[in-house]
Amino acid sequence: MLYPLMHLTATHINYYYLCRRKLWLFHHGIHMEHNSDLVHAGKLVEEYSYARRSECNRQLALRARLDAHTQLLGVIDYFDPEARLIHETKKSNRKEEAHIAQMRFYQLLLKENGIEDCRGIIEYPLLRSSTEVPPLDATTEAQLRQELHTMAQMLRQAHCPPLLQTRWCRQCAYYDYCYIDEAEN
């Protein structure tokens, strides 16, 4: 079957870990993040941390093909080419699994562009902690590729996945969109 070229980004992989419905809505052009105070707070933490970053870091915009129908796109805001180190800053470590998956996505993009064995560091300045992500190995790379294929397949479906219905929904930027019917009943 002939598919139009699909673009997947680090936000896609992040949302894949958070909620498949959120991922599907985002991919199909329904964006709610601009309404969320929590998203704004996260951006402020990132901007404050970036302002203190050393000058050895570079911003990289990368692309790579996953397969004939799928292109991966990503912008790494802070990459230290000497140390082969990717920096990411997050407000809270509550969704750490998603943060690590996002970091692996950047590692795969770098690898596909000829820059291998890159480590990642996810910084949580409000918690005064950080998490190191080792370079991609064969197992984590295969797992990530499989997830990206599964994601692309899911996003080609015409129907939006069902509500997640967890306590995290209340903190999600899509909460009003998802629960509008419940609010009216």
Min dist. Cβ of residue 176 to ligand SF4 (A): 9
Min dist. Cβ of residue 32 to ligand SF4 (A): 8
Binding ligand SF4 (rule: CB under 6 A), the pick from 105, 106, 124, 174 is 174
Residue 172 in contact with ligand SF4, rule: CB under 6 A: yes
What tokens does 22 get?
Answer: 């959120």
Residue 154 in contact with ligand SF4, rule: CB under 6 A: no
Window 5-24: residues binding ligand SF4 (CB under 6 A): 19, 21-22
Residue 169 in contact with ligand SF4, rule: CB under 6 A: yes
Binding span for ligand SF4 by CB under 6 A among 90-98, 130-138, 144-152, 172-180: 172-180
Residues 90/103, Cβ–Cβ less than 8 Å: no
Binding ligand SF4 (rule: CB under 6 A), the pick from 98, 115, 126, 164 is 164
Q: Which is nearer to ligand SF4, 21 or 87 (CB)?
A: 21
Binding span for ligand SF4 by CB under 6 A among 37-45, 108-116, 130-138, 164-172: 164-172
Residue 155 in contact with ligand SF4, rule: CB under 6 A: no
Min dist. Cβ of residue 102 to ligand SF4 (A): 17
Residues 91/124, Cβ–Cβ less than 8 Å: yes
SS (H, E, C) the chain: CCCCCEEECHHHHHHHHHCHHHHHHHHCCCCCHHHCHHHHHHHHHHHHHHHCCCCCCEEEEEEEEEECCEEEEEEEEEEECCCCEEEEECCCCCCHHHHHHHHHHHHHHHHHCCCCCCEEEEEECCCCEEEEECCCCHHHHHHHHHHHHHHHHHHCCCCCCCCCCCHHHHHCCCHHHHHHHHHHC
Where do we find the tokens 């570079």? Answer: 58
Residue 163 in contact with ligand SF4, rule: CB under 6 A: yes
Which residues of the chain form contacts with ligand SF4 (CB under 6 A)? 19, 21-22, 163-164, 168-169, 172, 174-175, 178
